[in-house]
Structure 1
Amino acid sequence: MSELNVAIIGTGIFATNAHLPALTKSKYFNPCACYNRTKSKAESFAATSSTITTVYDNLEDAFEDPKIDLIDALLPVQFNLDAVKLAVKHKKNISLEKPIAATLAQAKEIVNISRNNPDITIFIAEHWCYYKSIPLLKEAMSKIGNVYSFTYHSTGQFNFDNKYLATAWRKKPEHVGGFLSDGGVHQLALLTGVVGEIKTISARTKQIREASGVDDIAYSLAETKSGLIGTFTYGSAFGSTDKKCFFEIMGDNGSIHFDFSPGKKETISLKIGGGSPESASSSEEIEIENENRSVDTEFEILGEALHSGNFSKVISTPEVAFHHLAIVDAMVKSSADGGKPYPVETI
């Protein structure tokens, strides 16, 4: 099996700390080229790698290079659509960092481009889609009778040392919801991966930290397409407090509590019973070992798909990523309209 040659465009913190190590260790990929609009930064990035031998002068050079099989794009999201258009023009597969785009209009265009160009792979790098907890939670849901509601909660203290918040495109976000879409789509990948797509949402959002650029906390009530009702609470902009992350799912014959707070063993607590006076009760603790918190798994899945032509394991499609951004868009619109329920836009 020959390795696929990868050009990394955008050589910032996440490219250095996450993507380059994952691509380097993968049996599927050979990161061999890079580009940054500040060439000296690309040259410094290339110097950290034993495999990168080409540093491009211009962005389009990466797409024109005949030896490149995959463009790994880590750009401010408002430039994702332009990168996709270049990929189609030059017949290159492309991986985009989440969120899929800055606006729903851009995201919809990426989806349509993907549908109209089936010979080009457009992969959204949303690694939360590949969490081990998702199939385990879905299996647990099948054991608690008819499912009616959920509570998704992820809040924490503001991190003044967060190196990612210092990037210019995050400090002055052009992407809808700013922090709420940049980090929130992670949470929504987990939520919707388990309970399915959201149909309507009523939300209130506020901004606590100037560094966030726009609103950075969200409290909302949602209904899924399948009829579940639940709450989605998200924000890490508060003062001193513990980081609390949990996901509860309630049925008429049991319940699920998933605690994924940092520093704790990630555990699914499953309780069965209560459907009738005669129903037997039981409980089970399911520990999740080595959750897929790095980007390694998503690149292994992408690599396997590109080599085999079988994309059945690819979850983070443009359509899925569009839905995550559409939920944030509906939350922002709802909040601006006094919390009025808003439909989540579909394609």
Structure 2
Amino acid sequence: MSSSPLKVAIVGTGLFATATHLPTLQKLENVVPYSCYNRTKSKAEEFASKAGITKVYDSLEEVFQDKEVDVVDVLLPVQYNVEAVKLAVKYNKPICLEKPIAANLEQAKEIVQLDESSPTLPISILENWSYMNAIDILKNEVLPKIGDVISFTYRSTGAWNENNKYLTTSWRQNPQHIGGFLSDGGVHQLALLTGVLGAVDLISALTKQVRKASGDDDIVYSTVKMSSGVIGTFTYGSAFGATDKSSTFLIMGTNGSIEFDFSPSLPKKIIKYQTGDSAQAASAKQIIEVDSNDTSAAEFSNFFEAVAQKDKSLILTKPRLAYHHLSIVGAALESVKSGSFATVSSPVSSQ
């Protein structure tokens, strides 16, 4: 990292900025929250007071015009992400944006094009699940032990939480982003799935809206074909009645199987695996306890390192990758309309 602290302008000063972004930025080395902006200036001023920030802007463009600002951290309703990226390109200002990448695939594609036509400007989408340390363990340490991957079952389900403070935000209650909670929370799940098994090619899905407060369909059951040829199922939703929150990822191979249990109730996430090409050759199950890492700190550290090194290739969650995650949701919704498999548009390139 550079010796001089990077000055960060925080754009969007709502609940998540206060609860997660601000404390994360404050604990990172060589980073300092410098200024802020909100479409309602009084909210920005209130946030600034809490954060010890003295500079508050009157317009979004002022943020990017400020020569003192090194980096812009954007937490706007995602339909405004395109506007922010355009300003970042105009003023050559490194930018990170909260997920999902955009409200729809057209906007997301525009952000990818802006990113890839700006070869030196760091642009990162803050999909923090991409930084789970379990992904590296699963992909690089355990997956090679089970031979060729054949199939998977990914399931993350839970009860409706009416006390969720983020439900009160108007952009979630009246979503402009496709799929509402299916894209807002679903890209987290898809970051884990694709981080381990690669890009998705086809999906056939059924979705349903269980809660009016979701603003849109809030559960999805689907059958998936990966670009590698692996097949599986993807189930996601937290709009059910009373039930334990359960999150499991089962991977089946020609020489064994893996089960990753990352249910929130567990003190540590658990990877269980066994090897063998038949029931008769099955080994004893091996268990790996995975410590939960601070994925928000990890995603910011990754982005700020790219900024300090002036090397955008270091960024893990590039717009093209985030586009792929949103396009899986888009394909699922298209599948619901057509009643058949839908192709996931512009799959991410192999890393």
TM-score range (shorter-chain normalised) is: over 0.9
Q: Residue 275 of structure 1: CA displacement?
A: 4.7
Aligned to 1:30: 32
Tell me whether 191-200 or 313-322 shows the greater mean CA deviation.
313-322
Q: Secondary structure at the match of 1:143?
A: helix
Moved more, 26-35 or 224-233: 26-35
Q: Indicate which of 135, 155, 158 corresponds to 1:156.
A: 158
Q: How far apart, CA to CA, are the structure 2 residues paired with 1:280 and 1:242?
A: 31
**TM-score, structure 1 normalization:** 0.96
1:86 is matched by which residue type in structure 2?
Answer: L
Please, which of 265, 269, 279 is the counterpart of residue 266 of structure 1? 269
- Distance (Å, rounded) in 2 between the aligned partners of 1:86 and 1:313: 22
Q: Find the counterpart in structure 2 of residue 60 from structure 1.
A: 61
| Deviations 1:149-190 (CA, angstroms, capped at 9, x unpaired) | 000000000000111111011111111111100000000000
What displacement does 1:303 show?
1.5
Write the distance in 2 (CA, Å) between the matches of 1:156 and 1:307. 40
Distance 1:281 1:30 in 2: 51
| Whole-angstrom distance in 1 between the partners of 2:89 and 2:117 | 10
**2:207 corresponds to:** 205
Equivalent residue pairs, number: 343
Native 8 Å contact 1:271 1:283 kept in 2: yes
Specify the SS of the correspondent of 2:167. Answer: coil
> What aligned pairs does 1:247-266 form with structure 2 within 5 A after superposition?
247-264=249-266, 265-266=268-269
Aligned mates of 1:182, 1:310 — CA distance in 2? 28
Deviations 1:57-105 (A, max 9, x none): 1111111000001110000000000100011111111111000000101
Task: Verify the 8 A CA contact 1:145 1:275 in the aligned structure 2.
Answer: no
Q: Does 1:16 align with 2:18?
A: yes
CA distance in 2, matches of 1:309, 1:65: 20
Q: Who is 1:108 aligned against?
A: 109
Alignment of structure 1 residues 260-299 onto 2, 5 Å: 260-264=262-266, 265-275=268-278, 279=281, 281-293=283-295, 295-299=296-300
User: Structure 2 CA distance, aligned partners of 1:181 and 1:280?
Assistant: 39
CA–CA separation in structure 2 for the residues paired with 1:193 and 1:33? 34
Any residues of structure 2 matched to 1:177-326 within 5 Å, and which? 177-264=179-266, 265-275=268-278, 279=281, 281-293=283-295, 295-311=296-312, 313-326=314-327
Is contact 2:180-2:217 (8 Å) kept?
Answer: yes
8 Å contact from structure 1 (residues 273, 282) kept in 2:
no
The code of the aligned residue for 2:333 comes to: V
| 5+ residue gaps, structure 2 | none
1:87-98, aligned counterparts within 5 Å?
Answer: 87-98=88-99
Identify if the C-alpha distance between structure 1 residues 49 and 125 changes in structure 2 by more than 3 Å, giving closer, same or farther. Answer: same
- How far the C-alpha of 1:121 sits from its partner, in A, is 1.1
CA shift for structure 1 position 292: 3.1
Report the residue type matching 2:338 in the other structure.
Answer: D
In the alignment, structure 1 residue 85 sits paired with structure 2 residue 95? no
Report the structure, 1 or 2, having the larger helix content: 2
Structure 1 residues 235-266: Cα deviation after superposition (integer angstroms, max 9, x where no partner): 00000111110000001110000111111121
Residue number in structure 2 paired with 1:2: 4
Rounded to whole Å, the distance in 2 between the matches of 1:37 and 1:310 is: 32
RMSD (Å), alpha carbons: 1.3
- C-alpha displacement of 1:28: 2.9
Once the two structures are TM-superposed, the CA of residue 310 in structure 1 deviates from its matched residue by 4.3
Q: Is the partner of 2:146 in helix, strand or coil?
A: coil
Instruction: Check the 8 A contact 1:155/1:233 in 2, yes or no.
Output: yes
Identity in percent: 54
Output the CA distance in 2 between the equivalents of 1:183 and 1:61: 31
Q: Which runs of 5+ in 1 are unaligned?
A: none
> How many Å separate the matches in 2 of 1:290 and 1:157?
22
Structure 1 runs of 4+ off > 4 angstroms? 310-313
